[in-house]
Amino acid sequence: MSDSSRADTAAPVKCRQCDRPLTQPLVCDFCHALNPIAAGKDYYSLLGLPRQFDVDVEQLRAKFVALSRHAHPDFHSGESAEVKELSLQMSSAINDAYRTLRDPASRAGYLLELLGGRSSAQDKSVLEGFLGTMMMLQEEIADAKAAGDQPQQARLRGVLLIQQEGLMKRIGSLFTQYQEAVGCEAVRRQLLDELRKQINAVSYVRKLLTQLE
């Protein structure tokens, strides 16, 4: 299974207004008309970015802003109901895409599912020993809060942030390994499984962090 970042259509799609081939899914380069999002378009192709974990956040924002300038309902106020509807759909898709890809953890979860990995609902497992650590930390947080111990809470927060950082590094490395393991389905399966566990772990850590805010 290839993970090409190009559009997976047979023939190039044409702009519905000027009939020229579309180089990107939403807005025609020539006439700037809004074109309906083809079914199955993922967030990466919507924003015109390669399908990978490492994302240049500045570039992501630039693409998001550029597309919004065309798609946002504010710029289609005087047009037909059809165009207004298109603009609404498109803006929400672009906003959802930006929100998901901007945060490394949600990006990781999204990319994992795109690559065929299981969703968090389907697989809630984590690496061995992790839950035990989390439960201990949970108790320590509860104790620190009950005692009103601010310095301790700050320390625990620091610990959790380091955990999160470590997990995100591991996740990044796993995605890189996935990209390099071309054709090795067995290896890829394993990598996706571990990715699922690591991403689940990040969710736990984040839940605990919210208690310390």
Partner 1 sequence: MSDPAPIIGIDLGTTYSLAAYMTPGGPVVLRDEAGHALVPSVVAFLEAGIVVGSEARAHAVENPLTTVYSVKRLMGKDVGDLHEDLKFLPYGVVSFNQMACVQIGRRLVTPQELSAIILREVKTRAEAALGQPVSRAVITVPAYFDDAQRQATRDAGRIAGLEVERIVNEPTAAALAYGLDRKQDALIAVYDFGGGTFDVSILRVSDGVFQVLSTDGDTHLGGDDLDRELIELITSEIRAKFGASLEFPPSTRQALRNFAEAAKIRLSDRAEARLQVDLGGDRVFDRLITRDEFERRAAKWVDHTIEHAAAALKAAGVSVQQVDEVVMAGGCTRIPLVRRRVQEFFGRVPYTAINPDEVVAMGAAVQAGILAGMQRDTLLLDVIPLSLGIETMGGAMGKLIMRNSTIPCQANETFTTYLDGQTSVDIHVLQGERELARDCRSLGRFQLSGIPPMPAGMPRIEVNFLVDANGILNVSARELRSGKEASVQITPAHGLTRDEVQRMVKESYAHAVADLTAHRLIDLRNEAHRVLAAIDKARREAPSALDAGQQAALGEAVADLKARMDGQDPDALSLAMRKANEAAMPLTQQLMDEVLRKTAVGKKLDEY
Chain residues binding partner 1 by CB under 8 A are 65, 68-69, 72-75, 77-78, 88, 91-92, 95-96, 98-99, 213
With tokens 């390099």, the residue in question is 180
Nearer to partner 1, 66 or 136 (CB): 66
Q: Do the Cβ atoms of 127 and 165 come closer than 8 Å?
A: no
- Report in angstroms how near the CB of residue 64 gets to partner 1 at its nearest: 9
Compare residues 20 and 69 and give the one whose CB is closer to partner 1: 69
| CA triple 13-18-21, angle to 5 deg | 30
| Cβ nearer to partner 1, comparing 83 with 187 | 83
Minimum distance from CB of 96 to partner 1 (Å)? 6
At closest approach, how far in Å is the CB of 98 from partner 1?
7
User: Taking the complex as a whole, how short is the minimal distance between the CB of residue 183 and partner 1, in angstroms?
Assistant: 35
Nearer to partner 1, 55 or 83 (CB): 83
Q: Which is nearer to partner 1, 41 or 197 (CB)?
A: 41
Compute the distance between CA of residue 119 and CA of residue 196 in angstroms, rounded to an integer. 8
DSSP 63-120: HHHHHHHHH-GGGGTTS-HHHHHHHHHHHHHHHHHHHHHHSHHHHHHHHHHHTTPPPT
Instruction: Determine the Cα–Cα distance for residues 209 and 211; give it in Å rounded to an integer.
Output: 5
Alpha-carbon span 64 to 58, nearest angstrom: 10
For residue 115, the number of C-alpha atoms closer than 13 Å in the C-beta half-sphere is 26
Helices (H) and strands (E) in the chain, counts: 7, 0
CB of 54 to partner 1, least distance (A): 21
Nearer to partner 1, 73 or 104 (CB): 73
**Shortest reach from residue 76's CB to partner 1, in Å:** 9
β-partners of residue 1 are none
